[in-house]
A and B are shown apart, each in its own frame.
Chain A
Amino acid sequence: MSTVAETQIKLTPEHDARPGASVRSRLQDLLPKIVLAPSFAATIVFVYGFILWTIYLSFTNSKTFPSYAITGPRAYQRLWRWTFESDPPSSWYTSITNMGIFGFLYILICLALGLFLAILLDQKIRGEGVLRPIYLYPMALSFIVTGVAWKWFLDPGLGLEQTLHQWGWTSFHFDWIKNKDFVIYTVVIAGVWQASGFIMAMFLAGLRGIDGEIMKAAQIDGASTFQLYRRIVIPLLRPVFLSAFIVLAHLAIKSYDLVVALTSGGPGGSAWLPSNFMYEFTFKRNEMAVGSASAVIMLMTLTAIIVPYLYSELREKPR
């Protein structure tokens, strides 16, 4: 764009003759860049710059404050050793297994539930305008609010269990949030509650974008409703799956506040996710190198999952 503008200026000599106009046009030319520059700089420094800085710190011996002498991959060696300490579980082992359980269930259930709700809502039902925002609103809450609300609801002494006991069902027992082996599933429940409505909205938009003619043609060819969705609608929704997956994957990886608000780490730290591990080690335990190393591993894992997926999805269909 700028080169075109520059050549235009050179081709018309009267611009040089009138300095006022020249400055003005040059300013006009520069203006978008000046406006964009702060956010560009912020991204370069605060995202990519700090990624590099974190990688650098992970190879130092930084404790409370950053130290800049490279001392080798000791932090990674420690994390690697902790990866295999399952009995009793090391904090890192707990964090990564929880990430696996939480990430898998959260993404899978959100996608399934979102698609299911979207298909139901797409049946031209009455009151859709009321129902849609009801499902969507949890997304408007912050994770802290979701976490606190579910913490009270799931607390055996305050919420669901207590209420059902008062109603007479005294044998009812649901204390997952207090149980070291099940607490991570309560994080899944709260997370799914919050995000599935948003995923539903994404799928609903996708469904509305499907050409009705294709559906009719399939119906004329004798496709059952199940076949219609299985063979035509869901394959057509593939780009929505991609977007939804990416939204959910990054929400899952950065879930920190939900764990803190819902479980404050869980019994004996059993609800930790890698982000909790990273914060604890960097800021509370003054082991900045270990914290940085765990952040780098999170980034690598995310890259390893997302990049091939993006690559295959975006390359397949050249437009």
Chain B
Amino acid sequence: MLRKLLIGTALATSFAFSAHAADVKEVQMLHWWTSGGEAAALNVLKQDLAKEGYAWKDVPVAGGGGDAAMTALKAMVAAGNYPTASQMLGYTVLDYAAAGVMGDLTETAKKEGWDKSVPAALQKFSVYDGKWVAAPVNVHSVNWLWINKAVMDKIGGTEPKTFDDFVALLDKAKAAGVIPLALGGQNWQEATMFDSVVLSTGGPEFYKKAMNDLDEESLKSDTMKKSFDNLAKLVKYVDPNFSGRDWNLATAMVIKGDALVQVMGDWAKGEFHAANKTPGTDFLCYRFPGTDGSVVYNSDMFGMFNVPDDRKAAQVALATATLSKSFQSAFNVVKGSVPARTDVPDTDFDACGKKGIADLKKANEGGTLFGSLAQGYGAPPAVANAYKDVVSKFVHGQIKTSDEAVTELVKAIDDAK
């Protein structure tokens, strides 16, 4: 009985196999840019490739966010069925490169001069073992304040230059009866804000040591304790209902004028644009107080897989188009980020974008361009998530003092290394 069952099984499964023919003139792309603005931005790339005769094929992903896409990618790679390229973040690229599944774009990179135009900090993630394995699409930075100008005028506030200025500004808003700080109480949002707080409290040198090098002395130093104390100060200015709120709802509070300010990466600008708001007249973008001159970044990358030879031409075309100046400008104007190469003209960008481009250039030259730990560009995902845990537990009261927070942080990061 059992043997027959197994024979039957073998028969039935043998029908499931079928030949798979690869198409040369096609780009298979795994990404999760499906919402309005992002999809429109990506269309530019599709058209650029269509001009060169390459068809575009989205790899379908069930579910919206990046997590679902990464799970799908893991399954595809495990099955040996590589897409031409996939949207990837930070250490994921290096993980896959270490597993030996990424392609090699070094020739294209040389021809196009990526080594010079792409900031060195980004190359840490797009170059593995001397080989270009990914094409960076954009640079987001997280140390921004997004302020409703009408509310700002009403309370008579000015741009805060130091952390204490910022607290004074929040006090003014509180006195005027608006919610001072719009925050979504999800761990990545809290940690993203804390990235800026650490940079502001400890300065660029300290940020690099603690948040990128994970130096234990720095992590348990008094400066880190002070950073947690400063975070506690900011959390006093959020509304009681903040826990679990999505980031774009927090942005909407600022847009509507219910709240004064949000600390968020520059993807928040997309929400302002979608609501037809203009920088300078409706909203203001400042660097987080005390972090001017430094940029805490994260970046979207197109990871390029080691596809068979007959699909390599399409891959090279995709990579070239991705880092072309015209696409970099067109895409990032819509996305709210800044180009991943520093030699793209800023003519099409709004005031915030121009400032972002200038800041990135300055930070790149001055060595103050740092990976955001909360966004997974400071350390591998295990460490980054352990960090988010500690920050979130501190914000929500499971961890009660900054002393305890620092001890927990060191322990959690040690565990995750």
Contact = CB atoms under 8 A, between A and B. Distances in A.
Contacts of B67: 283-284
A164 to B, nearest CB: 15
A302 B1 CA distance: 31
B212 to A, nearest CB: 19
Nearest to A2: B1
B8 interface: yes
B396 A34 contact: no
A285 B9 contact: no
Q: Taking each of B70, B386, B393, which has the highest tally of chain A beta carbons within 10 Å of its own beta carbon?
A: B393
A91 interface: yes
B13 A269 contact: no
Nearest to A33: B8
A7 B308 CA distance: 55
Q: Taking each of B1, B8, B67, which has the highest tally of chain A beta carbons within 10 Å of its own beta carbon?
A: B8
A78 B411 CA distance: 12
Contacts of A40: 5, 9
Interface string B34-74: 00000000000000000000000000000000010011001
Interface string A68-103: 000000000010000000001101000000000000
A33 B5 contact: yes
Nearest to B185: A267
B398 A175 contact: no
Contacts of A1: 1
B186 A264 contact: yes
A69 to B, nearest CB: 15
Interface residues of B, number: 44
A65 B99 contact: yes
A280 B385 contact: yes
A88 B5 contact: no
Given A88-B398, A265-B187, A284-B385, A175 B380 contact: no
Contacts of A11: none
B382 interface: yes
Given A266-B244, A267-B244, A41 B9 contact: yes
Interface string B1-28: 1001110110111000000000000000
B241 A178 contact: yes
A228 B5 CA distance: 51
A287 B398 contact: no
Nearest to B412: A90
B266 interface: no
Interface string A270-300: 1000000000100111110000000000000
B5 A37 contact: yes
Nearest to B386: A285
A285 B385 contact: yes
Interface in A101-139: none
A90 to B, nearest CB: 9
Nearest to A180: B396
A38 B12 contact: yes
Contacts of A287: 382, 416
Interface string A123-158: 000000000000000000000000000000001110
B13 A38 contact: yes
A78 B399 CA distance: 20
A37 B389 contact: no
Given A267-B243, A283-B70, A37 B8 contact: yes
B292 to A, nearest CB: 31
Contacts of B416: 285, 287
B4 A33 contact: yes
A41 B186 CA distance: 42
Contacts of A156: 240-241
A88 B8 contact: no
Nearest to B384: A285
Nearest to A65: B99
Interface string B388-417: 010011111111100010001000000110
Q: Taking each of A33, A40, A157, A177, which has the highest tally of chain B beta carbons within 10 Å of its own beta carbon?
A: A33
Interface of B: 1, 4-6, 8-9, 11-13, 67, 70-71, 74, 78, 92, 95-96, 99, 185-187, 240-241, 243-244, 380-382, 385-386, 389, 392-400, 404, 408, 415-416
Given A178-B185, A268-B395, 18 more contacts: A34-B8, A38-B9, A41-B12, A41-B13, A175-B240, A178-B240, A178-B243, A178-B244, A180-B396, A267-B392, A268-B393, A268-B397, A270-B396, A283-B67, A284-B385, A285-B381, A285-B416, A287-B382
- Name the 7 nearest CB pairs between A and B, nearest first: A268-B396, A37-B8, A267-B396, A37-B9, A178-B243, A41-B9, A34-B8
30 contacts: A2-B1, A30-B4, A33-B1, A33-B5, A37-B6, A37-B9, A40-B9, A41-B13, A63-B95, A63-B382, A64-B74, A64-B99, A88-B393, A88-B398, A178-B185, A178-B240, A180-B396, A180-B398, A263-B244, A264-B186, A267-B243, A269-B393, A283-B67, A284-B67, A284-B385, A285-B385, A285-B386, A286-B381, A286-B382, A287-B416
